Structure 1
């Protein structure tokens, strides 16, 4: 089977280390492991690809110009013509697309060619663009999203709220397909070495990830656990502020920020942690499926998160981690203190979390489910 994987999002370097890049790579990897011939169509093919994905053929798409938003949006719309031509040339057996702003040609081509059309959607992109960047050509963006949703034979939404959004703009045969892990990247943990209790955070350092609450809780934890350390694996706009706060508190030696690491280095970094945190703030429209939580669990770390969205369904309070109220630094401090004072319990939670994700949330199982559904007569007929 020849699968065309389409990712037209100019913000995703497909061979990069950000979460979206890892997601792309893991789906490609799962398709390859099933014996498929895979062609990746992307405007961001730069970088060094993983050694086990060298057989993936890459078809570069026109890059979107940086700078003025309207010019960039028009270029994204125009790229639909290039995408149609590429698919005409490739004639794949199945088209799988990661939903992107202004993109509709892949799903429409597949439907017109009577090929299975799978659309993966990870966020309400139009609302996200309007809230955090600048949304140019809003009418055209909405029209493109609706065209893509209507044409898709199967829509795979990362969470329930994203699935509901997809349905409101024309998606049919919408299923929820959460994030997952690659067990090969996360071997069974070694015995814990003798070291200070280490609180961990993996991901981009942005305000909505709850980092201010985490920093406050960590400062309070140090009163009870004087040698505790905070290890942040990632980078982002909050970094300078956090480093300044630690410096002012005289705790710079207790903080380590690695910056953005390549995917291959992340498991080793997680192995240096005793707990993984995801202290999201309260959000009425929380729609995320945090990859960090799945990777914490795969690394056998207990997870401390908040009652935001469906996170308390992913992290079972008292079994695979601890769940606190969003924005409550005192509650977060208590949770971290509980784990630091009872490492056997913390390790048991981590082991339970690892068993859960390896049994229920792997990329191989995700690919199997999606392709089986996409190739069924019911979806093809829809």
Structure 2
């Protein structure tokens, strides 16, 4: 199939979770033999970066097995590029359009509907915000235009792909929704034959934001250091809480390494030097996660598993179904610093058992949570939709 995949405002290449997701889906579909064309951004742009004359045509270039078109518009103004997207769709005549949902995007859904092409809407976050969010209050005050546009995109899509169906408005038929988790590139992450030498190295990957639990991680690390453990702690990523995390770690700076944001290609090398991966998610600061459940598909957990690491994460659904206590790692009570420290101690108490957990984690992610499996299922959805469209056209 020829597939057009739109990811408005997402930088490709990039270090954001959305950047990795877009790249892996595009590359995975291309590796399955499809002619893939991706519309993304070259970088994140502020609202002040407004093109007075939006680009009329999108120029593609070969990239990582697919064709990449970079449409540099501020994310909030994504729909200004709809004319260029429609022209691209008319030129390519794709068999399938996939669009990554964003409140102020939708050019792919518009083009697919106008030109009669099967369409998949990919939803990775709550589409209608809970009342605590300022954008929801603004939308309510305006009479609900954001909610109506979200619902309209869902209505236009032939299928909606999401990690958790509660991200989609309740007005949309459940039969239209396919739950499909993210994954890890199991060919990129290759686990070592044995644990790396030296004292245990515990790694955190992620955006340094409150709900990723980076400060909880540092506080738990301090407890462990104060109990006499010779552990080292590596924190990979960046974000608004990095300065606070570094300040918390400062009294024991010799046992902490902050790498900052790194290219995704470096992660296999960094994880190969680790003994344990931690994903200390804390949903308390995130109203949408509290309202709809944990709808994020945990990329960092899958990549820890692919690298052969045991994992410590919060005991909340669906994380407690991905990581099982004593099998692929350990679980702790969400937001409980002491319990997080205790979970890390449980895993690392027996190095041989910890390594075996990592091997089981690797086997499970290969079987159930790889990008390769994700793309195979996405491909099947696309093939089915295309067949339905062909039958509809052929019907008298």
TM-score with structure 2 setting the length: 0.84
| SS across alignment from 1:58 | strand
- For 1:255, the equivalent position in structure 2 comes to 256
| SS across alignment from 2:129 | helix
- For 2:275, the equivalent position in structure 1 comes to 274
For residues 294 and 187 of structure 1, the distance between their equivalents in structure 2, rounded to whole angstroms, comes to 13
Two-structure CA RMSD over aligned residues (Å): 2.7
Q: Does 1:367 align with 2:375?
A: yes
Deviations 1:276-300 (A, max 9, x none): 1111224423321110000011111
Q: Does 1:127 align with 2:132?
A: no
- Unpaired runs of at least 5, structure 1: 65-71
For residues 361 and 288 of structure 1, the distance between their equivalents in structure 2, rounded to whole angstroms, comes to 14
For residues 223 and 68 of structure 2, the distance between their equivalents in structure 1, rounded to whole angstroms, comes to 50
Deviations 1:67-94 (A, max 9, x none): xxxxx74x33333333223212221111
Of the three residues 56, 67, 72, the one matched with 2:66 is 56
Quick check: 303-312 or 107-116, which moved more? 107-116
For residues 110 and 169 of structure 1, the distance between their equivalents in structure 2, rounded to whole angstroms, comes to 19
- For 1:68, the equivalent position in structure 2 comes to none
Q: In the alignment, is the contact (CA less than 8 A) between 2:98 and 2:122 conserved in 1?
A: yes
- For 2:154, the equivalent position in structure 1 comes to 149
Task: Please list every run of at least 4 consecutive aligned residues from structure 1 whose deviation after the TM superposition is greater than 6 angstroms.
Answer: 132-138
TM-fit CA distance, 1:346 = 0.8
- For 1:176, the equivalent position in structure 2 comes to 179
TM-fit CA distance, 1:133 = 7.8
- For 2:2, the equivalent position in structure 1 comes to 2
- Unpaired runs of at least 5, structure 2: 45-60, 285-289
For residues 252 and 113 of structure 2, the distance between their equivalents in structure 1, rounded to whole angstroms, comes to 58
**Closer/same/farther in 2, CA of residues 351 and 135 from structure 1, 3 Å limit:** farther
**Closer/same/farther in 2, CA of residues 62 and 185 from structure 1, 3 Å limit:** closer
TM-score with structure 1 setting the length: 0.87
Q: In the alignment, is the contact (CA less than 8 A) between 2:332 and 2:339 conserved in 1?
A: yes
- For 1:15, the equivalent position in structure 2 comes to 13
Quick check: 79-88 or 325-334, which moved more? 79-88
Q: In the alignment, is the contact (CA less than 8 A) between 2:277 and 2:311 conserved in 1?
A: yes
For residues 115 and 122 of structure 2, the distance between their equivalents in structure 1, rounded to whole angstroms, comes to 19
Alignment of 1:286-365 (within 5 A): 286-365=294-373
Alignment of 1:115-264 (within 5 A): 115-127=117-129, 131=133, 139-162=144-167, 165-169=168-172, 173-247=176-250, 250-264=251-265
| SS across alignment from 2:312 | strand
**Closer/same/farther in 2, CA of residues 34 and 174 from structure 1, 3 Å limit:** same
**Closer/same/farther in 2, CA of residues 134 and 151 from structure 1, 3 Å limit:** closer
Deviations 1:6-32 (A, max 9, x none): 111x2x212111111010000011111
| SS across alignment from 1:318 | coil
TM-fit CA distance, 1:170 = 6.2
Quick check: 304-313 or 35-44, which moved more? 35-44
Quick check: 198-207 or 107-116, which moved more? 107-116
For residues 103 and 356 of structure 2, the distance between their equivalents in structure 1, rounded to whole angstroms, comes to 43
For residues 65 and 299 of structure 2, the distance between their equivalents in structure 1, rounded to whole angstroms, comes to 26
**Closer/same/farther in 2, CA of residues 166 and 90 from structure 1, 3 Å limit:** farther
TM-fit CA distance, 1:182 = 1.1
**Closer/same/farther in 2, CA of residues 60 and 341 from structure 1, 3 Å limit:** closer
